[in-house]
Amino acid sequence: MQNGALRVYPLQDKDLSVNTLKEYWSFNVHDNDYGQIQGICSSYDDRFLITCGGDGNIFTFNILSPEDVHKELKAKIPSPRSGLEKEKATEDIEDPNAYNIEEVKQKKEYERIMKEAEEKKNKKREELIALRHEFLFLLQKNQELPKHMQLHREQYEMDHRIFEELDRQTAQRIQLVQKELAWEHEKHLIGLQKLRNQFRDSLEFDTVVVHAIQSNHQISTYRLLAMSEKYYQDKERPSWKRTVLKRAWKQAEKREIVRETSHARTFEGEAEKLKTSEVRKPTTHYIGSKHEQIRRIVEKSDKVKAKIMKRKAEWDELYKSKPSDDYENPKDVEDIREAQENMGCYKLKTAPNYRVPKHKRMNTEKKVMQLTSLEVLIHKRKVNMNKEIMSLRDLKISIIDKIKCLVQELKSIQTALDLSERLPLPPIPQLYPDEVPEKKFEYDSDVLLKFKEEQEAKAKLQEQLEGSPSSCAFRHRFLRAPSIKEIDPMAQAAGARPMKIASSVVTEQRKVFEIEKAEPTEMELEILKREKIKNLYLQETLIKKINALVINFDAELRFLRHKKLKLDVQMKSADLRYITWYEELLILKNLEKRETLLQGHVDTLISEQEAMRSKLNSYLAQMEDRKSEIVKLQECEKALYANFQASLGENNEFAHFLTKVLKKKIKCVEKKEVGREADEEDENEEENDDESSLGIDEENSGSEDEVFDDSVCPKNCNEALFRNTMQLRQKRLDIEKALTEEKKVAANLRKKYNALAKKAKVVETSLDTAETELETFQWEKQQRLNELYVVVPLKLHQVEYLVNGEMPSDFSQALVFTNQSLEYLQKRMVDLHNEKIMQREIYKKAQEQHKQLVQDKKEMDINIRRLEEKCSHLMMKKFGRLVDFEAVQAHSVNIRMEELEVQIMEKEYVHSQELQEWEERILDLRQQLMKLTKENTSKLQQLNRFCLEKQQLETKLDSLKNDLGVEFQGTRTTDIKEKARLESRLKHMARNTALLREEINLLSRKDGCLRELALLSRKDGCLFLQPLSPQDSETPTETFPVLTP
């Protein structure tokens, strides 16, 4: 079944008629709502029945045979019912407030208990009322007694401890009740706080209505909700004072650093000057005077050059100030630009040629900011108006207090006047409930009791209408307090006592006054008359003052009401504008995605363009650097060749050989590549000429490379010059290698620059297309925004669009202008007319001035031509040719040459000093040589004597002819050896003396110079002069042999 019930039909064998299906058993097993039976089946042996319902439950039933039923079940199975479908179903109780049986019983018991309690309370109240009446009667009796017999109030207390105990018990009960109701109290407080947070805290201003006092005028505040924090930007921005102070502080720091560095540099420069002055040797007076002369010449030439440059600058300024043919006055251009910016574009936004300016393009963010600013402005204006109204209400409250004081004073004054002379008291204005709505939420126990009584009265009235017993007492168990009616007798008795006392006092005073009354004197009558006049005047002034306060307040209220009405009109127009802007915001949100895509595409293209421009500029800077490096290398190469030519000198027989050595090719492949890249680079003509000349020389020398050998210095060639040539060749190769690399780098940079320039052009074209697409999209967006209706409140006198003197029904062709813009246009028309007249006059004056200037120019040209002819005639007469005086003045003094002359003089002075030192050393060496020669001559003379003695001895030996000494007849071997040694030594000395004579001759020449420093060293028994250091060995070494003993 759909309700989850399972039906079992008792069937006989093979009896399937309709009548047999009327009786069944029903089992409600599954859920009634969601337990529809989805499947049912029996087991394979038919002993179990399984059901599956939609509620997810599976039940199993045992199928018993008739025999098993009698064995297992002792209870009697009820017979199946029939006709259940025809029976009427019982109605379910759907009323949620209906009571069940238990609640009815509890309610009856509660009502019985409450009835008994109420009867007991009534009995106690009656007893208390009787006791109170008796006590009041006793108090009245005590009051009627004389004062000396009256009892004080404290004497009525039998025992003060009773009241203390009662107060203590009452406090304990109150504390107990507070503890019992603490949870409910906190619960209700939380609920109240939630309600306040939901409905009161978000409210910044409630509706307060301020009424006039004498009229029906009234003014009400705007009911405003508090603005959320998202509308306020609380970000702290640094003030301009802080930024200025920071900048000044940084500039002061920079100045101090610069001063310190400058002082340090000056100290360092002074120290260096002192060092150099100590190191340098003083020059002669002539050189100092020459330096002074050069300085004067330099100053004079600088003055002349400065004068020439100043004259050239004046001429340049004059030519720059000369206007071109398409010259435009900057003042006129500025006026035109200002007019274009401020005059305004009055093209209709619906026009097809209208283009939205960039500063007027609107997007979602700007529109949201516009809406928020409008909302904040509306809120601010309303808050200001509410503050004024609240101040007016405070003024009314203060006026009421003043009027109360004045009325009280007036009453005190009128007590001294007769009834006929008393003027009617002005009514004291009262505050209406809607003027102080905040008092609705202020309550006390009386207000709560009154509210409780009102609720009970409403409940009773509702019960009477419905005719059902009340259940408020059972549902809501309020603590019942004594009603006002029960308290009234006590209050009346308590209030009657002071009234009676006051009346008795007044009657006694009157009696005394009547007893003591007598006829007043004339002085007293005069004083009473003056007091009466004074009181009448004060009465009138006080009434006038009260009336003036009331009238002024009403006037303030009417003025503020008029102001609020104007503000209401503005707020209504602002609300309409807010609605229009919100519709625009919806349109902008729909178009935001496409706009962001287009704007992002434009921004990416702009960033790419800027990046490419920066790269192009960097490439250009690198190319300029490469070109400058190439020029420097070429200048170095030229300087190298110039140095080589200077080292060769004039009429050098090995100049051709050394030139071929210098220009010999070593890396031909690299040279060819350099040539190709140079052709691609398209260098200047001078560089190409130099390269071609160098290439021709190298080719000419390359054919002869195989003939000569550059590794060996040829005979009679200066070895130092050869080595210098080899070094220059290595430098040349290094320069050529660096030049090749620089040209390669320049060629690569040129290729990169060209490729990037092509990309930049492509990006520029794509940027133009993207900007045009963005402009068309902005125009489409503007058209979508133009479709919105804008409310413009107008009065009939503001409509000047008439057709045949009547107001048309269709205003689609009309334009709406503000009075300010319309007046500006009308004023602009008059200004343009006057400006046109003024421009015509200026044009006439300029035309006349132009004619005068043309005439003056012709006269000046004639005068200049005449002066030029005169000047050329004087030049030809004096110099015989035309002379450029500026060039003569600029190049009359060659400062470099003068400096070089001074340097030559300094070098000559230094060389003269060195020559003097060398001459002194030569003199010393000559003296030593003379000494040695003297020693050698003495030795030679001694040798000569020895030779003579030898000859004499030999002659003596020859003359002696002794026959007996045969063994002594022949020459001895020792004598022969000694003779040979002496002869060889004599020859050697003769050769040394010849060499010494040659050296002496060389040293004694006038143009000769001593190039070597010598020391005496012993070699093979002789002394030789040898060089001291490598610095002195630039010339070929020469030795001076010196004979030693």
What 3-state DSSP class applies to 99?
A: coil
- Which pLDDT score, from 0 to 100, does residue 359 have? 77
Residue 497 has pLDDT above 70, yes or no: no
pLDDT in tens, 298-327: 787 778 778 888 888 888 888 877 777 777
CB 754 within 8 Å of CB 623: no
The yes-or-no verdict on residue 675 having pLDDT over 70 is no
Predicted confidence at residue 480, as pLDDT, reads 38
| pLDDT class of 802 with cuts at 50, 70, 90 | confident
**What distance in Å separates the CA atoms of residue 358 and residue 771, rounded to the nearest whole number?**
11
Residue 12: the pLDDT is 65
pLDDT band at residue 710, thresholds of 50, 70 and 90? low
pLDDT (mean) for 660-674: 60
Return the minimum-mean-pLDDT range out of 286-295, 458-467, 579-588, 825-834: 286-295
Q: Which residues contact 538 (CB under 8 A, 6 or more apart)?
A: 413
Are the C-beta atoms of 598 and 774 separated by less than 8 Å?
yes
Where is pLDDT greater, at 688 or 104?
104
Q: Which of 108-112, 125-129, 203-207, 540-544 is predicted with the least confidence, judged by mean pLDDT?
A: 203-207
| Residue carrying the six token digits 């006080």 | 542
Amino acid at 255: R
Q: Which two tokens stand for residue 518?
A: 């007598």
Strands 1042-1043 and 1022-1026: antiparallel
What is the structure's pLDDT at 1011? 40
Query: Can you tell me which residue has the tokens 């800027």?
Result: 610
Q: Comparing 998 with 253, which gets the higher pLDDT?
A: 998
Predicted local distance difference test score (pLDDT) of residue 587: 92
Distance between CA atoms of 308 and 761, rounded to whole angstroms?
A: 46
pLDDT at residue 708, as a whole number: 53
Looking at residue 72, what is its pLDDT? Answer: 54
Structure letter (DSSP) for residue 1010: -
pLDDT at 1029: 39
Largest CA-CA distance found in the chain, in angstroms, rounded: 223
Q: Considering only 644-653, 751-760, 867-876, 1031-1040, which range has the smallest mean pLDDT?
A: 1031-1040
What does the pLDDT read at residue 673? Answer: 45
pLDDT above 70 covers what percent of the chain?
A: 74
Say how many Å lie between the first and final Cα of the chain, rounded: 158
- Residue 222 CB neighbour total at 10 angstroms: 21
Residue 387 in tokens: 């503050």
Each residue's pLDDT tens digit, 502-548: 344 334 444 444 444 457 788 888 898 899 899 999 999 999 999 99
Give the mean pLDDT of 623-651. 84
Number of H helices, E strands in the chain: 20, 12
Given its phi and psi angles, is residue 806 left (phi above 0), alpha (psi -120 to 50 degrees) or beta?
beta
- Find out whether 220 and 432 touch, Cβ atoms under 8 Å: no
Nearest by Cα to 364 from 671, 112, 596: 596
Section 713-730 average pLDDT: 81
Q: If pLDDT is split at 50, 70 and 90, which confidence band does 695 have?
A: very low
Is the pLDDT reported for residue 493 higher than 60?
no
**DSSP-H helix ranges across 649-718:** 655-662, 668-681, 685-703
For position 21, what pLDDT does the model report? Answer: 66
- What are the tens digits of pLDDT across the range 395-422? 999 999 999 999 999 999 988 888 888 8
Residues 6+ apart with CB under 8 A from 150: 142, 143
For residue 1000, give both structure tokens.
Answer: 């002496």
Collapsed DSSP state (helix, strand, coil) of residue 345: coil
349: enclosing H helix or E strand: none
**In the predicted model, what is the mean pLDDT of residues 847-860?**
92
Of the segments 462-471, 635-644, 927-936, which one has the largest average pLDDT value?
Answer: 927-936
Which position has the higher pLDDT, 289 or 218? 218
More confident site: 88 or 758: 758
Q: Which one is predicted more confidently, 471 or 285?
A: 285
At residue 240, does pLDDT exceed 50?
A: no
- Residue-wise pLDDT tens digits, 827-847: 888 988 998 999 899 999 999
pLDDT, residue 699, reads: 42
Residue 601: band (very low, low, confident or very high) from pLDDT cuts 50, 70, 90: very high
Q: What's the rounded Cα separation, in Å, for the pair 942 and 986?
A: 12
Per-residue model confidence (pLDDT) at position 554: 94
153-167, 716-730, 1026-1040: which has the minimum mean pLDDT? 1026-1040
Look at residue 581 in the predicted model and tell me its pLDDT. 92
CA 383/CA 222 separation, integer angstroms:
8
Q: Which of 4-8, 112-116, 139-143, 680-684 has the lowest mean pLDDT?
A: 680-684
**Lowest-confidence segment of 92-96, 342-346, 677-681, 1002-1006 by average pLDDT:** 677-681
The CA distance from 914 to 1009, in Å, is: 11
Per-residue confidence (pLDDT) for residue 754, from 0 to 100 = 93
| pLDDT beyond 50 at 285 | yes
Which amino acid does the sequence have at 324? Answer: S
User: What three-state secondary structure class fits 42?
Assistant: strand
pLDDT over threshold 60, residue 265: no
- Report d(CA 1019, CA 214) in Å as an integer: 149
Quick one: pLDDT at residue 31?
81
pLDDT at 994 over 80: yes
Q: Please tell me the predicted confidence (pLDDT) of residue 126.
A: 94
Whole-angstrom Cα distance, residue 900 to residue 893?
13
The phi, psi pair for 627, rounded to 5°, reads -60, -45
pLDDT at 14: 59
Confidence at residue 392, expressed as pLDDT on a 0 to 100 scale:
94
Task: Give buried/exposed letters for 961-979 (b at 16+ CB in 10 A, else e).
Answer: eeeeeeeeeeeeeeeeeee
For 626, counting Cβ atoms within 10 Å of its Cβ (0-12 exposed, 13-18 middle, 19+ buried), the class is buried
Is the distance from CB of 373 to CB of 574 less than 8 angstroms? no
Whether residue 393 contacts residue 210, with contact meaning beta carbons closer than 8 Å, is answered with yes
Report the DSSP beta bridge partners of residue 1015.
1026
Task: Give residue 113's pLDDT band: very low, low, confident or very high (50, 70, 90).
Answer: very high
Is residue 30 within 8 Å of residue 51, measured between CB atoms?
yes
